[in-house]
Amino acid sequence: MGLKIYLDGKLVDEENAKISVFDHGLLYGDGVFEGIRAYNGRVFRLEEHLDRLYSGAHAIMLKIPLSKKEIGEAVIKTVRANNLADGYMRLVVTRGKGDLGLDPKKCPRPTVFVIAHKITLYPKEMYDKGMEIITVPTVKNLVSALDTQIKSLNYLNNILAKIEANLAGASEAIMLSKDGYVVECTGDNIFIIKNGVLMTPPTYLGALPGITRGVILELAAKLKITSREELFTRYNLYNADECFLTGTGAEIISVVKIDGRIIGDGVPGKLSKKLMKEFWALTKKEGTPIYKK
């Protein structure tokens, strides 16, 4: 049985989920999206994802033709139609069908679709033992050019960095700012721990305000782990006691080697594992129910 896709108000079979070749999301990357997780029959942090979607759409003057409640119901409906209790949802809003020109005024109605499926970014062994990553030459887009707090459909900056990681045989790449500060990875936020202090790059530098990133900062406060957003360089990465990545797709994964330098003891660290444990406990009990009891 094929996937059911939500497309502009209807659930359609995957092979019939079609949009126009004149859609500005396809032609220009003009739109916003969210990656969302479901755990144990619940959609995790749905409200936060919808808030970010609508904030990004507002920033690019894209009016979503559905209320937050309606689009949230569309996500739930799509997950339910695909009989999922655990999975990954991609919620996309494009500028819609226009013509070959740039002008968004030529796009009278946005396109909205939801895909509910499975995703695996890294093999299980990496989650158990930690991963090796590298920094790459491609720097993060300047915030003054395109604010990366907008989770837009134009991910070419990140894709170019991912290509560089692939060519080097690495699973993930760290992207720096034009001044050499650590910003984030191609699809994940990054954290380091030094002397018991948890640090992550600030969003004003160009880091996406990730939903999982926010959960980790909440859990750190609950566990009384000192945390802060702070500028740091590769020097701080190499000399960190622990390092891990977060993202809706990646969830949480430890980093044990960066650019050939071993991080800490070369295994997932104590505080990282403590935060991971708390995160997984949270996913077991929190979220918007998919199936009515």
Q: What is the 3-state secondary structure (H, E, C) of the chain?
A: CCCEEEECCEEEEHHHCCCCCCEHHHHHCCEEEEEEEEECCEECCHHHHHHHHHHHHHHCCCCCCCCHHHHHHHHHHHHHHCCCCCEEEEEEEECCECCCCCCHHHCCCCEEEEEEECCCCCCHHHHHHCEEEEECCCCCCCCCCCCCCCCECCCHHHHHHHHHHHHCCCCCEEEECCCCCEEEECCCEEEEEECCEEEECCHHHCCCCCHHHHHHHHHHHHCCCCEEECCCCHHHHHCCCEEEEEECCCEEEEEEEECCEECCCCCCCHHHHHHHHHHHHHHCCCCEECCCC
Per-residue confidence band for 160, with pLDDT thresholds at 50, 70 and 90: very high
The pLDDT value given to residue 262:
98
- What was the pLDDT predicted at 1? 64
- What is the per-residue pLDDT for 2? 87
Sorted by where each begins, the domain ranges of the chain are 4-117, 124-283
Taking Cα atoms as reference points, which of 209, 224, 271, 214 lies closest to residue 244?
271
pLDDT digits (tens, 9 = 90+) for 49-95: 999 999 999 999 999 999 999 999 999 999 999 999 999 999 999 99
What is the CATH T-level fold of the domain 4-117, as seen in this structure? D-amino Acid Aminotransferase; Chain A, domain 1 (3.30.470)
Question: Is a pLDDT exceeding 80 seen at residue 237?
Answer: yes
Q: What pLDDT does 293 receive? A: 63
pLDDT of res. 228: 97
Residue 245, token pair as written in the block: 């990545």
Residue identified by tokens 């969302």 is: 36
Tokens of 75: 């996500």
Cα separations (Å) of 235 from 136, 189, 193, 239, 259? 15, 18, 13, 6, 11
Superfamily name and number for 124-283 = D-amino Acid Aminotransferase, subunit A, domain 2 (3.20.10.10)
Q: What is the mean pLDDT of the chain?
A: 96
Determine the average pLDDT of the residues in 176-184: 97
Active site residues per annotation:
151
User: What are the pLDDT digits (tens) for 25-36?
Assistant: 999 999 999 999
Q: Band the pLDDT of 23: cuts 50, 70, 90.
A: very high
199-219: per-residue pLDDT in tens? 999 999 999 999 999 999 999
